[in-house]
Amino acid sequence: MKIVINKCHGGFGVSTEVFNYLIENKKWVVGEYGKIMLSDALGERYFFNDDDYTLKFRSDPDLIEAIESVGLEQSSGEYSKLRIVEIPDEINPDKIIIDDFNGLEQVKEVGRSWG
């Protein structure tokens, strides 16, 4: 399983290029609920309207594809440095958490960690 995490202090965030990729190539919608985003008042910045800390969101195949297509350097938001970590498929997703210390993240399972 691939999971997107942030590897610097600040916080998880993606670039406008990733949002544009999701809108144009994956038909994610702006302004509704679900796999979607909200824009600010000027429509120049997007925000996920989902819980961006959930494993389901961070391992979403559309999000992974967007980041891999755009490239890690260009995918990171203003206060983030994204990285895709891969954990073994046999790990029970219910036992996985994304641990955050001032924005710096790690994927953990009881007794093990990645990233």
Domain that holds residue 82: 2-114
HSE of 100, CA atoms in CB hemisphere, 13 A: 15
Asked if residue 87 has pLDDT above 80, the reply is: yes
Burial class (CB in 10 A: 0-12, 13-18, 19+), 64: middle
pLDDT digits (tens, 9 = 90+) for 3-48: 999 999 998 889 989 989 998 998 887 776 556 666 665 666 677 7
Domain count, the chain: 1
* Predicted TM-score of the model (pTM): 0.84
